[in-house]
Amino acid sequence: MPVAAFCTDIPEFQSGRVLDAAFARRFPGAAVIPELATRLRDTGWEVVTGDQAVERIDSGDLGASDVYVVQEENSAVGLTLLEQGAHPALILSGESPLYAQDFYRNLGAISRPFPHRVLFAGAHAKASGPGANHPLLFPAFHRGETRTLTPWKERQHLALLAGNKYWRHAAIPWPNRIRRASNELRNRELKNWLRQNQLHDARLRLVAHFNDVGLIDVYGTGWDRLSHLPRLWRNRLSELNPAGNSVSYEDKHDLLSGYKFTLTMENFVFPGYVTEKVYDALAAGSIPLYQGAPDIEDFLPASAFIDLRDFDDPSSLQTYLNSIDENQATEFLAAGREYLTSPSGQRHSFEERGAFLANLVVDSATT
């Protein structure tokens, strides 16, 4: 029996935990892994996490040649399995170059052994070589999920649900912070590219403005701690009172459904880098305010979201949002729902993505 090993260095996901559907639902995008596992098991595969595969190989309970590696970025446990003789099947990454710097810097070498690579479109050029590149379409909802829309007039104005990160990595562990700072010092071109394409400053600008006028509720970790931000933003956000420090991912759609608009900015401008944020808003029935992937309209019709690139400053955005009446809002929301139920939209369901990834793994074992 072939064995698929999902390899990640996230401690919470190991020991088979991420394969449990109820557990995986607590984390953005992670529910696709149990779907992948279910599809493979239906075709006669066994599915484990990478750490479990290593333990079984070391104990003699499993042969490395029976194992096919599904690797998240440059997972150490995945590399261990490959060194032991397991087969590379599929590599994927749902992070941007802003945070997965080591992976993107060495992408060619890391991804080369894998016959299938599921990455954001901006990474495909560096991952060229033997095998096939596939666009990463971020999963964000379960097929068939429906939600009764909250009446427009009963909704709050604008929500943001995101952790308060900053591109200089001040909120990450010291070893990683030192290594990344060293990389940026040695490579000024890299640092300038990161600075120019990070969207944290743009997001903080909007948060500060809409907080000043009392039109935004901010949810997520870190907003009660501003010390990692530049002085400008510490001063501008000194009066911010977060609406919630931590919101379960399982409760996200229910929360956002009570808002007319949701601020869904990515952390970084990168082709194809469209994460769960915008799809979460659509699934909740809230109008997304989006900025991030320059090719966003390849992933989402323009009629379903508000493009923040169309506004020169927060005040002009505020004026536009205030001008949207219930009829216009209904058109936005209908376009979003129509997209999610379309074949293109369904590609972002956990079920669709799980089946797609499972097919790639099976293909790697038969070609």
Give the domain CATH number at 316. Answer: 3.40.50.2000
- Confidence at 120, pLDDT banded by 50, 70, 90: very high
Based on the domain organization, do 28 and 164 belong to the same domain? no
What average pLDDT does the segment 250-274 reach? Answer: 95
Edge-to-edge strand list for the sheet holding 116-119: 46-49, 3-7, 67-72, 87-92, 116-119, 132-135
Based on the domain organization, do 260 and 355 belong to the same domain? no
Report yes or no on 145 lying in a domain. Answer: no
Task: Give the C-alpha separation, 61 to 53, whole Å.
Answer: 9
Task: Give the C-alpha separation, 177 to 362, whole Å.
Answer: 38
CATH number, domain containing residue 132: 3.40.50
Closest residue by Cα to residue 106 from 116, 93, 115: 93
For residue 114 the two structure tokens come to 């894998």
Q: Tell me if 72 sits within 8 A of 30, measured CB to CB.
A: no
For residue 214 the two structure tokens come to 């009392």
Residue 4: per-residue pLDDT: 98
Task: Give the C-alpha separation, 198 to 292, whole Å.
Answer: 9
Residue with tokens 């209904």: 330
Based on the domain organization, do 339 and 355 belong to the same domain? no
For residue 87, what are the domain limits?
3-139+349-366
Closest residue by Cα to residue 207 from 158, 166, 167, 256: 158
Based on the domain organization, do 90 and 175 belong to the same domain? no
Q: What is the DSSP string of 281-310?
A: HHHHT-EEEEES-TTGGGTS-GGGSEEGGG
Report yes or no on 147 lying in a domain. Answer: no
Based on the domain organization, do 355 and 275 belong to the same domain? no
Based on the domain organization, do 250 and 170 belong to the same domain? yes
Tens-digit pLDDT profile for residues 203-247: 999 999 999 999 999 999 999 999 989 999 999 999 999 997 777
Average pLDDT, the chain: 93
Domain count of the fold of the chain: 2
Tens-digit pLDDT profile for residues 325-362: 999 999 999 999 999 999 999 999 999 999 999 999 99
Q: Tell me if 250 sits within 8 A of 222, measured CB to CB.
A: no
Query: Is the pLDDT at 170 greater than 60, yes or no?
Result: no
Residue 190: per-residue pLDDT: 84
Report yes or no on 54 lying in a domain. Answer: yes
What average pLDDT does the segment 8-32 reach? Answer: 94
pTM of the shown model: 0.92
Q: What percent of the chain is predicted at pLDDT more than 90?
A: 83
Residue 189: per-residue pLDDT: 87
Based on the domain organization, do 288 and 240 belong to the same domain? yes
Closest residue by Cα to residue 97 from 161, 159, 33, 187: 187
Query: Is the pLDDT at 169 greater than 70, yes or no?
Result: no
Based on the domain organization, do 113 and 52 belong to the same domain? yes
Based on the domain organization, do 203 and 93 belong to the same domain? no
Residue 167: per-residue pLDDT: 85
Residue 101: per-residue pLDDT: 87
Buried b (16+ CB within 10 A) or exposed e, 193-214: ebeebbbbeebbbbbbbbbeee
Based on the domain organization, do 125 and 159 belong to the same domain? no
What average pLDDT does the segment 154-165 reach? Answer: 95
Query: Is the pLDDT at 180 greater than 80, yes or no?
Result: no
Alpha carbons within 13 A on the beta-carbon side of 24: 23
Query: Is the pLDDT at 179 greater than 90, yes or no?
Result: no
Residue 298: per-residue pLDDT: 95
Query: Is the pLDDT at 21 greater than 90, yes or no?
Result: yes
Based on the domain organization, do 358 and 308 belong to the same domain? no
Neighbour-count burial of 113, counting CB atoms closer than 10 A to its CB (0-12 exposed, 13-18 middle, 19+ buried): middle
Helical segments of 28-145, H only: 32-42, 50-59, 76-84, 101-105, 107-111
Question: Helix (H) and strand (E) counts for the chain?
Answer: 16, 11
For residue 313 the two structure tokens come to 């400053």
